[in-house]
Structure 1
Amino acid sequence: MLRLLGRRILTAGTAIAAVIAGSLLTAGTAAPAHAAVPDTIPLKITNNSGRGDQVYIYNLGTQLSTGRQGWADASGTFHPWPAGGNPPTPAPDASITGPAAGRSTTIRVPKFSGRIYFSYGQKLVFKLTTGGLVQPAVQNPSDPNRNILFNWSEYTLNDAGLWLNSTQVDMFSAPYSVGVRRADGSTTSTGRLRPGGYNAVLNTLRGQSGGWGNLIQTRSDGTVLRALSPLYGLETGALPASVMDDYINRVWQKYSGSTLTVTPFTDQPGVKYYGRVSGDVMNFTNGSGAVVTSFQKPDASSVFGCHRRLDAPNDQVRGPISRTLCAGFNRSTLLTNPNQPDSGSGGFYQDSVTNHYARAVHAQMADGKAYAFAFDDVGNHESLVHDGNPSEASLTLDSFN
């Protein structure tokens, strides 16, 4: 159960890359001509966790100028990974000593597409195989990082600016928030939980029937480490494979006799696609009536992972339609609104069959925004900060209480 950093540097399903591509295509995002983005920018890491554990920081990813995989040290200097092996070989120690509780430290991040990992009390274990870096995969009980408390943020820094997000696509774990300081000194941030939100998410899962509490992983001493995403809950058997069947069946039945209209681009309201179900297939046609793409009836894994039967290639037709379908299934809005995507979040997660993990996470975010599934950015509900000319980024390790 290896997960290779570099095959898809951003988490399996996380849509920050699509957000970047969409911004560049539809909003013309570009660095101001008079202010080129520097090769590195400062990242201020503040430890407000209240924990006494030693913190370790890692900056891992792909160097955009060369496409090489590697890591960056505290000064922002890039170090390519050496060749890996089969079986995987230990990776060089890329850890940076993080700040003590109540303190801050500043590192520099280079033009990268990658992750900022942080762990409490223990260094993470990274190995190299012939295909690249093996990421932690804590859904695997034998993963060496299974009993370590850790989390990560994702970012891309390039000539058009910084995109930095908090993510719960793979798991909900040690709380943190991210921010950016613009050239004019103003700041914006996201990803912070409400007071008591960390335990509230876990308690919501524990109280939800159907096995959702089984997503929570603990150490042998009872310490809560994380809640796995429902996709990994399916893989580990924590959730039954049939967990979304009732809702999927009702959607298929509804659109056997009516039409689902998808308007995937906010800046192109005239581009619409029309979905109708025939048997086990939902066919989408364009305004001329020609079939442009078709989807087999999905299962829970396809819904939670936004993959397989809801695969979303980086194109201008199937991918945008699939992203919208995926969001509608996870938010359980396809039955209540035949015009997708939804314009607001008021009707999200109202069906008894829904992504209760995403429901719990969003409900406890101070600004309501999160990356609780792969295409949570549909409709701009994602926890992402961006600036075309950032002067500083921030990552705050927040309190568990």
Structure 2
Amino acid sequence: MRRKLTRRLLAPAAAAALLTAVLSVQAPSSADAAVPATIPLKLVNNSGRGDAVYVYIIGTQLSTGQQGWADANGTFHAWPAGGNPPTPAPDASIAGPASGQSKTVRLPKFSGRVYFSYGQKLVFKLTTGGLVQPAVQNPTDPNHDILFNWSEYTLNDAGIWLNSTQVDMFSAPYAVGVQRADGSTVTTGHLKSGGYNGVLSDLRGRSGGWAQLVQTRSDGTVLRALAPGHGLESGALPASVMDDYINRVWQKYASSTLTVTPFGDQPNTKYFGKVSGNTMNFTNSSGAVVTSFQKPDADSVFGCHKLLDAPNDQVRGPISRTLCAGYNRTTLLTNASQPDSSATGFYQDGVTNQYARAIHARMADGKAYAFAFDDVGNHESLVNDGNPQSATLTLDPFN
């Protein structure tokens, strides 16, 4: 079974917690027990940059539930107790390969992240609640002016789930891959030639605040493009950026019905949405109301939270995931039966998630995690294997 991205609060920073996407873990079946305690992770540096690279393997150890980090051999180290104000974390960095080189480390059974930075080590701190992860939307975060990125992964007895993600930002380009038991490999996350600069140019050429998502260091280095939810938080995007589309959706489904079939393997499980005033009510096939949503705002749409909260249940969460994908891809007006299996009609409305559109258009395989539930309809940049022999993380060129 595929792992889903969920929105989960991490340890709070000095002022607020970073809301981010992490991989949720499901219990493996008794038949899946062949995955060793660690597997090789080959780090390949094709970036063309002369900066030193630093790598971090950070997450939750699945056997104990402890938060910590892994060294290059895959050995787990628990974080020490933190403080308030936050105290410096131990240096968990691993020296990465130089440009044109590769290096192999080992991934332990974690649910966590592989960070990498160029030219400077990342700053991690510990509070009494755990690790403070970099908050790219915070201009005072100590990592704000560092060029870095991360991949998310879960490795457990049932296999590996490894993604490339742009849920929080579009930054240093990279791809992920897995080698299977038969020797074949599967990869995702590579941009088309010119795709990195293409995404940045696309956003910079758009009015309405999208250009302000791009953040540049004082020396001219482009650091990242913030995801639009963080753009709202920072003031780069106006709060009304999605209002016109949301209003049209609300108007349409006041007089027609939106059908949601949230489970691909359960085609007969359908829910029917209809707007009444400020509420969209969903009924099941018996006509009973199963959940309701208030009219969302842009923050709820981009973050797939708040008024589009998606609990890990079997009704509201799956419906909300589908709605969130439809709003971000702006397909709710053109397709009254959601979700969409084809990407052909995504991002065609004049009011859309321009960030997600720009990224998907420039991915070599069209797949990305440009918002939290971009896996709805299988449009996500994720590799998975039940018996992984090794994994790869490739640092790609900035072109």
Same fold (TM over 0.5): yes
Query: TM-score normalized by structure 1?
Result: 0.94
Counterparts in 2 of 1:14 and 1:248: CA distance versus 1, 3 Å: same
Aligned length: 387
Task: Name the counterpart of 1:152.
Answer: 150
Task: Name the counterpart of 2:21.
Answer: 14
Supply the AA of the counterpart residue of 1:307. Answer: H
What is the CA distance between 1:4 and its match in structure 2? 3.1
1:400 to 2:378 alignment: no
Deviations 1:292-346 (A, max 9, x none): 0000000000000000000000000000000000000000000000000011000
CA RMSD of aligned residues (A): 1.5
Query: TM-score normalized by structure 2?
Result: 0.95
Task: Name the counterpart of 2:109.
Answer: 111
What is the CA distance between 1:5 and its match in structure 2? 5.1
1:362 to 2:368 alignment: no
Task: Name the counterpart of 1:90.
Answer: 88
Mark the runs of 5 or more structure 1 residues left unpaired by the alignment: none
Task: Name the counterpart of 1:78.
Answer: 76
Task: Name the counterpart of 1:278.
Answer: 276
Cα distance between partner residues in 2 of 1:59 and 1:6: 20
Task: Name the counterpart of 1:220.
Answer: 218
Task: Name the counterpart of 1:202.
Answer: 200
Cα distance between partner residues in 2 of 1:138 and 1:181: 32
Report if the CA contact (8 A) 2:23-2:112 is conserved. Answer: no
Report if the CA contact (8 A) 1:31-1:389 is conserved. Answer: no
What is the CA distance between 1:107 and its match in structure 2? 0.4
1:324 to 2:330 alignment: no
Alignment of 1:296-311 (within 5 A): 296-311=294-309
Alignment of 1:162-201 (within 5 A): 162-201=160-199
Report if the CA contact (8 A) 1:302-1:308 is conserved. Answer: yes
What is the CA distance between 1:31 and its match in structure 2? 8.0
Cα distance between partner residues in 2 of 1:257 and 1:4: 41
Cα distance between partner residues in 1 of 2:349 and 2:11: 36
Question: What secondary structure does 1:257 align onto?
Answer: coil
What is the CA distance between 1:291 and its match in structure 2? 0.3
Cα distance between partner residues in 1 of 2:167 and 2:270: 28
Task: Name the counterpart of 1:233.
Answer: 231
Supply the AA of the counterpart residue of 1:166. Answer: S
Task: Name the counterpart of 2:257.
Answer: 259
Alignment of 1:27-38 (within 5 A): 36-38=34-36
Counterparts in 2 of 1:13 and 1:128: CA distance versus 1, 3 Å: closer
1:45 to 2:38 alignment: no
What is the CA distance between 1:154 and its match in structure 2? 0.4
Supply the AA of the counterpart residue of 2:285. Answer: G
Counterparts in 2 of 1:346 and 1:270: CA distance versus 1, 3 Å: same
Cα distance between partner residues in 1 of 2:206 and 2:328: 16
Cα distance between partner residues in 2 of 1:392 and 1:32: 20
Cα distance between partner residues in 1 of 2:305 and 2:204: 27
Report if the CA contact (8 A) 2:10-2:20 is conserved. Answer: no
Report if the CA contact (8 A) 1:31-1:160 is conserved. Answer: no
Question: What secondary structure does 1:101 align onto?
Answer: coil
Task: Name the counterpart of 1:348.
Answer: 346
1:4 to 2:4 alignment: no
Mark the runs of 5 or more structure 2 residues left unpaired by the alignment: 1-8
What is the CA distance between 1:391 and its match in structure 2? 0.3
Question: What secondary structure does 1:346 align onto?
Answer: coil
Task: Name the counterpart of 1:336.
Answer: 334
Cα distance between partner residues in 1 of 2:276 and 2:20: 28
Alignment of 1:97-136 (within 5 A): 97-136=95-134
Report if the CA contact (8 A) 1:303-1:310 is conserved. Answer: yes
Supply the AA of the counterpart residue of 1:184. Answer: D
Supply the AA of the counterpart residue of 1:67. Answer: G
Counterparts in 2 of 1:270 and 1:15: CA distance versus 1, 3 Å: farther
What is the CA distance between 1:52 and its match in structure 2? 0.4
Report if the CA contact (8 A) 2:214-2:225 is conserved. Answer: yes
Cα distance between partner residues in 1 of 2:199 and 2:39: 33
What is the CA distance between 1:98 and its match in structure 2? 0.1
Deviations 1:210-229 (A, max 9, x none): 11010000101221100000
Report if the CA contact (8 A) 1:56-1:119 is conserved. Answer: yes
Report if the CA contact (8 A) 2:22-2:112 is conserved. Answer: no
Question: What secondary structure does 2:254 align onto?
Answer: helix
Supply the AA of the counterpart residue of 1:359. Answer: R
Deviates more, 1:137-146 or 1:376-385: 137-146
Cα distance between partner residues in 1 of 2:368 and 2:324: 16
Report if the CA contact (8 A) 1:183-1:391 is conserved. Answer: yes
Question: What secondary structure does 1:14 align onto?
Answer: strand
Supply the AA of the counterpart residue of 1:4. Answer: L
What is the CA distance between 1:13 and its match in structure 2? 5.2
Counterparts in 2 of 1:31 and 1:6: CA distance versus 1, 3 Å: farther
Task: Name the counterpart of 1:60.
Answer: 58
What is the CA distance between 1:6 and its match in structure 2? 9.9
Supply the AA of the counterpart residue of 1:14. Answer: A
Which one of 141, 144, 157 corresponds to residue 143 of structure 1?
141
What is the CA distance between 1:86 and its match in structure 2? 0.3
Cα distance between partner residues in 2 of 1:98 and 1:265: 41
